[in-house]
Structure 1
């Protein structure tokens, strides 16, 4: 896909996420890795619902701004996922309501913050790692993600929101949407003792669909 088409895709997906209430106000950010090692990413303090393709930030492989508006302050977060997930071509970070609510609960498993409720949560999200709270833009977030050594394509930032890396932009968007829906299910079913997928059922999904 050309750079121009990628710029349009970032704006299109951003608008879709915003219009469905998945990241309010000027929250959330999106990046795409280019063939030369540089990035396209959404500007800082920009609403994903009102992005201009021409103002998307263009960074070189050293994260130096080449054109467009000043990039998101969450550059370290994206950088850590690209560094530890060599196959990642896009990263999406949202402040979606149910995922943020889930991130505040005190009893989450930090290696699997989402239980295996549905096959698509296993296939698209995999094991969701929980990262302790850090201030937005804090480089310590990147250190925490690098500590995961690329074992997770989806990360939940405590009291902040979800981040997902995938090979392509559409896959990252679909995965983070699945994460939000699964978080909603977890909250709806909390204290109701729901039936989860068994380890054998999860293993079968991993084998057949290459889930994480």
Structure 2
């Protein structure tokens, strides 16, 4: 097994636990390893990853070695199929992302209201994908066939899934998405002010973030 991939996943798991994003044995992570996928096994606590914790899959999701793979493997395969530039995928049941996934999305292309530049810069639009029971293979199809450019999504009444160029990038993105969801929930009862369409476009272009223009845009501010 690629030792650097194992060490990277173990460190990433500890970061997610420390950030409060992965309660109990929930959540799963994976990385590309040459022409295959290393993914955490079913029931593995992300803060206690070792060589016995990981399964190896082909790029189409076929199990070829190691532990029994997480039932959410289709989510990971869906992101890897979308973009060869994705080197890691993380799925977590972080509390604020789960809470927001139970609410009406801000727009079709993005479930998370654009309140801070950091969400737009670091995550980009994050659509709400349809409810499927945990482990449903259709979740992977939903990720792969989503009509908008994206590197993160909320799964209805379930949680968040993010992809990154490597495992550190994916962890950073998962933490930023959880913070963005927290801020949306904190401001929900208030008359909040969202970023304008022009501000979002400038940020997305400057940072190379996925964002689909929408008819729904905040009013211009002086």
- The TM-score range, normalised by the shorter chain, is over 0.9
Residues 11 and 150 from structure 1, CA distance in 2 versus in 1: closer, same or farther, beyond 3 angstroms? farther
- Give the alignment's Cα RMSD to 1 decimal: 1.7
SS in 2 for 1:127: coil
Question: What is the match of residue 89 of structure 1?
Answer: 87
Question: What is the match of residue 53 of structure 1?
Answer: 51
For residues 17 and 77 of structure 1, the distance between their equivalents in structure 2, rounded to whole angstroms, comes to: 18
State yes or no: 1:25 paired with 2:21: no
SS in 1 for 2:160: strand
Unpaired runs of 5+ residues, structure 1, are none
Give the drift of 1:118. 1.0
Q: Is the 8 A contact 1:85 1:153 kept in 2?
A: no
Give the drift of 1:60. 3.2
State yes or no: 1:130 paired with 2:128: yes
Question: What is the match of residue 158 of structure 1?
Answer: 156
Residues 62 and 84 from structure 1, CA distance in 2 versus in 1: closer, same or farther, beyond 3 angstroms? closer
Aligned length: 210
Question: What is the match of residue 102 of structure 2?
Answer: 104
Q: So what's the TM-score if we normalise by structure 2?
A: 0.89
Question: What is the match of residue 216 of structure 2?
Answer: none
Structure 1 residues 104-113 or 179-188, which shifts more?
A: 104-113
SS in 1 for 2:114: coil
Structure 1 residues 144-153 or 182-191, which shifts more?
A: 144-153
For residues 174 and 72 of structure 2, the distance between their equivalents in structure 1, rounded to whole angstroms, comes to: 17
For residues 65 and 140 of structure 1, the distance between their equivalents in structure 2, rounded to whole angstroms, comes to: 18
Deviations 1:66-101 (Å, cap 9, x if unpaired)?
Answer: 432111111111111111122111100000000000
Residues 149 and 15 from structure 1, CA distance in 2 versus in 1: closer, same or farther, beyond 3 angstroms? same
Unpaired runs of 5+ residues, structure 2, are 211-222
Q: So what's the TM-score if we normalise by structure 1?
A: 0.93
Considering fraction of residues, name the structure with more helix. 1
Question: What is the match of residue 14 of structure 1?
Answer: 13
Match for 2:71 among 51, 70, 73?
A: 73
Question: What is the match of residue 116 of structure 1?
Answer: 114
For residues 202 and 26 of structure 2, the distance between their equivalents in structure 1, rounded to whole angstroms, comes to: 37
